[in-house]
Amino acid sequence: MTPAQKPLRQTIALNDTVYETTLTKKYAQRKPYAPKDPSRLTAIIPGLILELRVSPGDQVRSGHDLLVLEAMKMQNHITAHDDVTVKALHVAVGDTVTKGQLLMEFE
């Protein structure tokens, strides 16, 4: 067997026993859990920043529009999940963003 074909032989502990096994590709490449950070707003969908409706320092009520993200032929209104104060903007009008890209931070 060439090294490339060699399966990833690992151990896994389940029900008080350590098992020798191979791992699936998906399991081996999984990302560790990270709790969602409510102070960071990231893009839910790739698209174009059409409008920014807040500036750093603005206090925004829950449900208020933060920005308009054009994607899938739709002007998606991104709203505040909570009462927040805008700390920093990481995008400008006209920017194309990818999914998961940081858009703004709250205090």
Partner 1 sequence: MSLPKKMKDHAAKHAEATEPHPAAAAKQAAQGKLQARERITAILDQDSFHEYDLFVEHKCSDFGMEKKQLPGDGVITGTGTILGHPVAIFAQDFTVAGGSLGLAHARKITKIMDHAIKLGIPLIGINDSGGARIQEGVNSLAGYGEIFYRNTLASGVIPQLSIILGPCAGGAVYSPALTDFVFVVDKISKMFITGPEVIKTVLGEEISMEDLGGARVQAELTGNAHFYAQSEAECFEQVKRLVTYIPWNNRKKADSFNVIPSRSEISLESIIPAESNKPYDVRDVIRAVCDGSDFMEVQALWAANIVVGFARMDGRTVGMIANQPMVLAGVLDVDSSDKAARFIRFCDAFNIPLVTFVDLPGYLPGIDQEHAGVIRHGAKLLYAYSEATVPKITVILRKAYGGGYIAMCSRHLGADFVFAWPCAEIAVMGPEGAANIIFKGEIAAAADPEAFRKEKVKEYTEKFASPYVAAANGHVDAVISPHQTRDFLLHALEISEEKAELRPARKHGVPPF
57/99 with CB nearer partner 1: 99
> Which stretch in 1-9, 55-63, 73-81, 82-90 sits in contact with partner 1 by CB under 8 A?
73-81
Q: Is 94 near partner 1 (CB under 8 A)?
A: no
CB of 107 to partner 1, least distance (A): 23
Cα of 41 vs its chain's centroid, Å: 8
Dump the DSSP string for 25-84: HHHHTPPPP----TTEEE-SS-EEEEEE---TT-EE-TT-EEEEEEETTEEEEEE-SSSE
Beta-strand pair 40-42/102-106: antiparallel
Residues within window 39-68 making contact with partner 1, judged by CB under 8 A: 44-46
Question: Which residues would be at the binding site for partner 1 (CB under 8 A)?
Answer: 12-14, 32-33, 35, 44-46, 70-77, 99
